[in-house]
Every structure is written in C-alpha cells, then in structure tokens.
Amino acid sequence: MTPHRRIDEASPVRIALLGCGTVGSAVARLLTEQAEDLRVRAGRRLELVGIAVRDTTRERPGIDSSLLTDDPLALVTAEEVDLVVELIGGIEPARELVLAALDRGASVVTANKALLATHGAKIFETAERNGRDVYFEAAVAGAIPIIRPLRESLVGDEITSIIGIVNGTTNYILDKMHSDKQTFESALTEAQELGYAEADPTADVAGHDAAAKAAILAGLAFHCRVRAEEVFCEGITEVTPEDIAAAESMDSVMKLLAICQVNPEDETVAVRVHPTMVPRKHPLASVDGAYNAIFIESQSAGRLMFYGPGAGGSPTASAVMGDLVTVARNLVRGATGPGESSYRGLAVADAGAIRTAYHIRLQVADVAGTLESVAACFARNHVSVRAVRQEAQGAVGEAVELVIVTHVARTQDLDAAVAELRLLDQVTGPVRPMRVEG
C-alpha cells in the first residue's frame, strides 16, 4: 500500500472538478463563495485548479471560464491535483477517470451511485491500495447524511432493515399524480426542469437509480457487496391513475420504496425497489415532492429515521462539500477515512423468495362460485388472503371489481397465484397486483 499522502504546510488542497452541471456548478460556486470559511474548516485553502466539461464554449454564470477543459483525463492525472470531485455521472468515462485519479495518488469525492453500485469493489480496492479516500455522501439521498451514519456512527450496531424513499424524481412524480392529479409525463418534465432527474431520466423512472442506491445502502449496512444488477427492481412507468385511485381508496399512497433486509434464517440479503402502497398514517406517506426519507432498524439503537431533500443542485452540493472538507482534512493530517467493509460476504436472495403483502385488483363476473375459484388460486399457491372487497353491486353476471389484500407471501407464490387467476373463466379483465408495506 502506498503511504498516506500528506500535504505540506504551505500548500493548498488542489481540487479538480469533473462536471459542471446541476451539482458541479453549485459545488464550483460554493468553493469560491465560501473560500475563507472552508479554509478554516479544512485547515488549508481549497483551490479549484480545473473543471472538466464536454462543452467549454457554453456560458456558465459564476464559473471562471479559464478553469474549463474538455480533457478530463489530463486534469485528473495532473501532478498537482490532490482531490478529484467526480460529478459527471454514468459509468464511462467516470470509472476510468476515478481509477486514474486514485492510481495517480488523488483522493476522490463522487455523487455517482451508478458507478459505485457497479464498480465499487474495484474502486475501493484501488483506493485502499493507493492509501487514498473515496467519499460518496451525495450518492444516496441527496443532502441527507446517511452514508457517514452507516459507515461510522452505526458501525458498532447490528442493522436489520432499511426502508426508504431514495429517489427524488419518482417521489415528485407520484406525489404530483396524487395531490394535483397531474399526468406522469408532465410531472416528469417538471422534475427534469427542477434539476432532480438523471441526465437520462429512464434511470429514475425505471427504478435503476434507486436500485443503485439500495445496493450501496445494503452493502454498508450489512457489510457485504451488493451490485445494482442484483437488486430486484421495478420502476414507476407502469403506475396508472387507476393505481393511484386504488391506493387512495385504501387510505394509502403509492411510493417507490427501496427495501433492504437480512434474512437470519439463511443469511441472505433481500434488496428490492418497487412501487408500493403505503398507508397514509405511515411516516413515509407524508414524504412529498423531491424529499427522501430512510428508516433504519438496528438491534441496539432501535428505529432511526433520516429525512431531507433527496435531489437538486444545491442540496446535493451540501453533501459533496461535506465530503470535500472531510477528505481535505484527511489529506492535511496524512490520514484516510474508513474503507469498504464487506467481510460478511452475505449472498443476495433470489427475487422469488422476497416476501411482502399484496393488494390485487381484478375484474370478475359476479356469478356464484367466483369467490371460491379466486380463493382457490391463492390457497393452492400458499398465499393467505387477509381481506376481500367487492366494489360495485349490479345484476348477477355483471362485471365487478374485486379487491383482495393478502398476508405477507413469497413473490414466486403470488406470481403463480396471479398467473392462475388470469386463466379463470370468471376473470373478465386485467389482474393488477401491487405491493403493500406498513
């Protein structure tokens, strides 16, 4: 391992910024506006030596254009750079640049959850080998301090579950679909205009952004490695106004939840992201707009909740700046912060083994024997029915909506029951299962 790097007393901490978009431009401005306070807090002057972007000709208010370059590799491998702040996003060239920076001897701050949830093992191993830091508070839940509590404050406790809203864009969209009866498309456009969405918003609405964050949270909480591709993931693209109305009729709201749990029976970790009905009385139900919230349950501390702005340039820059000062302090002291902890090596559970309760809407013919046939589909697949409601009252034989709420069941059993329901003669329309929490 390379010895920890220590900056000599006369030198500033020299920072290379990769990206000057929603988050990067806010960070660049704070570095200038707060320069004097940051110098005192970090113990050295923080000097921005370059900003890599794609288009160096674009007007960027408040940004010193002489710092702009379109050669990020030359910037991160420059001899004088101590700290690289990666705010480009996506996998390439961010992966190559982060690894090059670490190998060259710089520490890294990043907000890039997609990168860490895909190539985290290689990045942390490279940082360790070079005696450098990788800090990533902004990668999960924007401004909310959640990485440091998991990495440091709770590292002596035994975390058993994490349930959270970790994507601001989708929370904004679902909130607007409920409160303003806005369409999915118009709410997404607003979220993009407000700077919440990823460069390609498919990452948000398909659940991939939340899945990457869930993988990072599960890895930190349970001391194991979880990759984004191992997370069971369903986004909100299929959520319809009818689903929203169905949730409201149950005094609930639709939320995109990230859920990470250890199954003590087989020592596996179940990590999933999907739209979920949450009762209005549940604290997660009142998390609106682009806010995020994360519940943690642990053996000693009990229940903890973290809440705050989950996206947007300024809130995310707050988390980046916190990392930046911390890493600068480490450089000044010739120290590094905590590295990766994956010693438990827990396996990730199969999607089919994941257990949750369901709310199922189906259109049936209102004739004798329908309920019995429907109930038999659940019984044959070991799914216990908790409540049944028939919505409309019409003449015998007319189509009516049946709502069934189950007890907690395995996903594979519920899927099998739904497949059988779809084959019943008495089922005359779509069968719509939705997961329920709380």
Q: Cβ distance 356 to 411 under 8 Å? A: yes
Beta bridge partners of 436: 277, 357
Q: What residue is closest to ligand HSE based on CB?
A: 169
Which of 38, 2, 57 minimizes the C-alpha distance to 20?
57
19 is in an annotated binding site: yes
Which position among 46, 52, 76, 317 is part of the footprint of ligand NDP (CB under 6 A)? 52
- As measured in angstroms, the least distance from the Cβ of 201 to ligand HSE is 8
Backbone angles phi, psi at 101, to 5 degrees: -60, -45
Q: Is residue 354 part of the contact set for ligand HSE (CB under 6 A)?
A: no
Rounded-to-integer distance, Cα 74 and Cα 297, Å: 45
Which position among 17, 88, 188, 239 is part of the footprint of ligand NDP (CB under 6 A)? 88
Rounded-to-integer distance, Cα 129 and Cα 3, Å: 9
Element (H, E) at 259: strand 252-263
Site string for ligand NDP, 184-203 (x = CB under 6 A): -----------xx-xx----
Do the bridges between strand 302-309 and strand 347-348 make them parallel or antiparallel, or are there none, so unpaired? unpaired
Which position among 196, 222, 307, 378 is part of the footprint of ligand HSE (CB under 6 A)? 196
Compare residues 76 and 197 and give the one whose CB is closer to ligand HSE: 197
Rounded-to-integer distance, Cα 265 and Cα 313, Å: 42
Residue 406 contact partner, candidates ligand NDP, ligand HSE, none, CB within 5 to 8 A by sort of partner: none
Size of the site for ligand HSE (CB under 6 A): 11
Backbone angles phi, psi at 191, to 5 degrees: -60, -35
Q: Is residue 438 part of the contact set for ligand NDP (CB under 6 A)?
A: no
Site string for ligand NDP, 96-115 (x = CB under 6 A): ---------------xx---
- Among the listed ranges 149-157, 308-316, 348-356, 362-370, the one in contact with ligand NDP (CB under 6 A) is 308-316
Which of 205, 161, 196, 228 minimizes the C-alpha distance to 438?
161
- As measured in angstroms, the least distance from the Cβ of 141 to ligand HSE is 7
Burial 209-240 (b: 16+ CB within 10 A, else e): bbbbbbbbbbbbbbbbbbbbebbbbbbbeebe
24 is in an annotated binding site: yes
- Among the listed ranges 37-45, 196-204, 230-238, 336-344, the one in contact with ligand HSE (CB under 6 A) is 196-204
25 is in an annotated binding site: yes
Residue 235 contact partner, candidates ligand HSE, ligand NDP, none, CB within 5 to 8 A by sort of partner: none
Query: In this structure, what token pair is assigned to residue 26?
Result: 């806010």
What's the Rg (C-alpha) of the chain?
Answer: 24
Binding region for ligand NDP (CB under 6 A) = 19-24, 52-55, 72, 87-89, 93, 111-112, 138, 142, 195-196, 198-199, 311-312, 316
